[in-house]
């Protein structure tokens, strides 16, 4: 039952290195009641080494150089997180 009420997999993930950090953005979750997004990033062997939670469908990661894997999923207002991460590698 929890899976049916969890936010769906996000789409439109974009990762772009810029001066001052790596800009990450995605299409907002289509469900109502999404209160935040969990962004995890790290090297391929430890993809979830760092995590931040944001309320907008974008974030700048100051410490995500080329080769890092960035993963994002939505979280409902009650804290229930989406069942699948969307991923991209920083180029």
pLDDT in tens, 42-83: 999 999 999 999 999 999 999 999 999 999 999 998 889 998
CATH number of 2-89: 2.60.40.10
**pLDDT computed for residue 78 by the predictor:** 85
What does pTM read for this prediction?
0.93
Domain locations in the chain as residue ranges: 2-89
Q: What is the DSSP string of 36-84?
A: EEEEEEE-GGGTTSEEEEESSSEEEETT--TT-EEEEEEEETTSPBPSS
- Report yes or no: 22 and 64 within 8 Å, Cβ to Cβ: yes
């Amino acid at each position: 039952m929890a899976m049916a009420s969890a936010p769906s997999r996000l789409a439109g993930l974009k990762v772009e290195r810029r001066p001052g950090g790596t800009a990450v953005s995605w299409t907002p979750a289509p469900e109502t009641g999404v209160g935040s997004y969990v962004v995890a990033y790290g090297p391929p062997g430890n993809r979830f080494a760092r995590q931040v939670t944001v309320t907008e469908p974008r974030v700048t990661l100051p410490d995500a150089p080329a080769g890092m894997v960035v993963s994002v999923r939505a979280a409902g207002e009650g804290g229930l997180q989406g069942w699948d991460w969307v991923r991209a590698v920083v180029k």
